[in-house]
């Protein structure tokens, strides 16, 4: 068995309204990804925006997907991530009112569809 490797990912969320708040003009996505690379991260995490696949490849960074999924949107989210070469997708499942039984059923359905698409999910 090989030794585990610790990888560091930055969330694009940490660069929202960056550098000086929304009034000053937010950095474009490419500048954010370049800054993540320059800071020494191994990858970044965000939603399934098509431009991020190309930026991850351009800057040689891993892309970790992130989403908030529910019964009404999970399938579309998975299909949006399918072509993006994500290393994994971190899922926030449901919301504060989601009952455990509903969450289990949703997770099982979502996991099956993700497997069919070749995606790996984290809860």
pLDDT digits (tens, 9 = 90+) for 12-41: 999 988 887 767 788 999 999 999 999 999
pLDDT digits (tens, 9 = 90+) for 57-113: 999 999 999 999 999 999 999 999 999 999 999 999 999 999 999 999 999 999 999
Nearest alpha-carbon partner for 43 in 78, 7, 92: 7
Q: Return the CATH class of domain 9-122.
A: alpha beta
Report the chain's C-alpha Rg in angstroms.
16
pTM, rounded to two decimals = 0.88
Torsion-angle region of residue 71: left (phi > 0), alpha (psi -120 to 50) or beta? alpha
pLDDT digits (tens, 9 = 90+) for 8-18: 999 999 998 88
Asked whether the beta carbons of 69 and 113 are under 8 A apart, the reply is: no
């Amino acid at each position: 068995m090989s030794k585990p490797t610790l990888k560091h990912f930055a969330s694009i969320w940490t660069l929202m309204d960056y550098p000086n708040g929304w009034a000053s003009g937010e950095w474009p996505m490419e500048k954010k990804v370049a800054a993540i690379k320059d800071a020494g991260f191994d990858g970044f995490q965000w939603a399934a925006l098509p431009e991020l696949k190309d930026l991850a490849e351009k800057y040689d960074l891993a892309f970790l997907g992130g989403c908030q999924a529910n019964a009404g949107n999970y399938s579309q989210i998975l299909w949006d991530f399918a072509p993006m070469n994500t290393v994994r997708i971190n899922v926030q499942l449901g919301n504060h009112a989601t009952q455990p039984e509903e969450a289990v059923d949703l997770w099982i359905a979502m996991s099956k569809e993700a497997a069919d698409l070749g995606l790996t999910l984290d809860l």
